[in-house]
Amino acid sequence: MKYKSIVATQRGGPEVLQIVENELRAPGNGEARIRIQAVPVVQDDVAARVGNRPFLPKTPFLPGYAILGMVDAVGEGVTEVAVGDRVAALTNFGGYAEYIYWKAKQLVHVPEKLDPAEAVVLILNYLVPLQVMHTVVRVKPGDRVLIIGASGGVGTAFLQLGKLAGLKMYGLASPSKHKVLADYGAIPIDYHTQNFVQVLRQAEPAGLDYVFNGMGEEYFEHGLAVLRRGGELVHYGGPQSLARFLLLVVKFVLYNLLPNGKKIKGYGTHTGNIAQFEGEWKRLFQLLDEGKIRPIITDKLPILEARKANELLESGQVIGNIVLLTPELLKK
């Protein structure tokens, strides 16, 4: 029996994503075979395809940073999951496919009552702001924050979780996306036409408590400029190359040595595992079930249309998330 996956045959634009057929095999020792139902299309997928990240797999490779699906078969020694269980995983790669083989110990159970398209978005795009706000730093009600890149999948998750935390939020976004920011109580700033440092110094002369930066390190200097003494900038966007990664490390050290009481911290999910994230995922599943968060999903497409989904994401017009789904879920 065969199944299909979408492979990045080389570095480049969405056109390098090609559908290939694979032989379905039995899962190995400790593995679960999962029939994928939902996959979010995220900026890290684009960066890996283009080559704008250090430590990337060689081409050809399968993009796909997170998955949700049903356990279809289990290998020897697997006790964590059973056939028929609904599970999710943070995969980094391999999600653009009809099936995936994954270590059973690295799977999280997903409540059946949750919408799969919404639940899969939580695995990466909501995990990041939850951990940044409550683990990397400790926000409290009334804290004043700036979200750089506030209209994408992670940015809108920051808005929703920030509202729940009682934060006073400012967000950078283009004017066509300002309504979404305002809907969550954030004050939008047009970074194309406004100098956000001047705007924030006028609005918050005492300075902000935190800046959350999902864009490039070129925002470091301006982000630090709007912080109060003792404030912190958290950078969660990936560097574009090994050289940029090393430059980023140097910048972290130098900026943190400045005698201004301000700090820069970094955050990434690529080195994490189920032990670090399972508690946060369960918390997010509960918030979704209670209706306290609701991911914005702009487009839902079939899994095998990953190329089109990548084109949409790279257009810069997407607010929130794009999710790939199996055909039967698209019909609902």
Task: Please check the confidence at residue 156 and state whether its pLDDT lies above 80.
Answer: yes
Residues contacting 60, CB < 8 A, separation 6+: 7, 8, 9, 10
Residues contacting 215, CB < 8 A, separation 6+: 148, 149, 237
Of the two residues 190 and 273, the one the predictor is more confident about is 190
**High-pLDDT (> 90) share of the chain, %:** 80
Q: For residue 118, give the nearest of 316, 311, 290, 310 by alpha carbon.
A: 290
Rounded Cα distance between 28 and 11, Å, is 30
The reported pLDDT for the residue numbered 134 is 96
Task: Please check the confidence at residue 247 and state whether its pLDDT lies above 90.
Answer: no
Q: Work out the pLDDT band at 238, boundaries 50, 70, 90.
A: low
All domains of the chain, ordered by start, with CATH? Answer: 2-110+296-330 (3.90.180.10), 123-266 (3.40.50.720)
Residue pair 90/123 in contact by the 8 Å Cβ criterion: yes
Task: Please check the confidence at residue 258 and state whether its pLDDT lies above 80.
Answer: no
Task: Please check the confidence at residue 215 and state whether its pLDDT lies above 60.
Answer: yes
How does pLDDT run across 53-69, given as a tens digit for each residue? 777 889 999 999 999 99
Q: What is the 3-state secondary structure (H, E, C) of the chain?
A: CEEEEEEECCCCCHHHEEEEEEECCCCCCCEEEEEEEEEEECHHHHHHHHCCCCCCCCCCECCCCEEEEEEEEECCCCCCCCCCCEEEEECCCCCCECEEEEEHHHCEECCCCCCHHHHHHHHHHHHHHHHHHHHHCCCCCCCEEEEECCCCHHHHHHHHHHHHCCCEEEEECCHHHHHHHHHCCCEEECCCCCCHHHHHHHHCCCCEEEEEECCCHHHHHHHHHCEEEEEEEEECCCCCCHHHHHHHHHHHHHHHHCCCCCEEEECCCCCCCHHHHHHHHHHHHHHHHCCCCCCCEEEEEEHHHHHHHHHHHHCCCCCCEEEEECHHHHCC
Task: Please check the confidence at residue 239 and state whether its pLDDT lies above 90.
Answer: no
Rounded Cα distance between 59 and 300, Å, is 27
The reported pLDDT for the residue numbered 244 is 59
How does pLDDT run across 104-144, given as a tens digit for each residue? 999 999 999 999 999 999 999 999 999 999 999 999 999 99
The reported pLDDT for the residue numbered 257 is 66
The reported pLDDT for the residue numbered 133 is 97
Mean pLDDT of the chain: 92
How does pLDDT run across 11-38, given as a tens digit for each residue? 999 999 999 999 999 999 999 999 999 9
Q: Work out the pLDDT band at 243, boundaries 50, 70, 90.
A: low
Among the listed ranges 2-11, 44-53, 61-70, 291-300, which one has the minimum average pLDDT value? 44-53
Q: Work out the pLDDT band at 172, boundaries 50, 70, 90.
A: very high
- Specify the pTM: 0.93
Q: Work out the pLDDT band at 221, boundaries 50, 70, 90.
A: confident
Rounded Cα distance between 174 and 159, Å, is 16
Of the two residues 210 and 271, the one the predictor is more confident about is 210
pLDDT winner (highest mean) among 46-50, 108-112, 246-250, 255-259 = 108-112
The reported pLDDT for the residue numbered 267 is 85
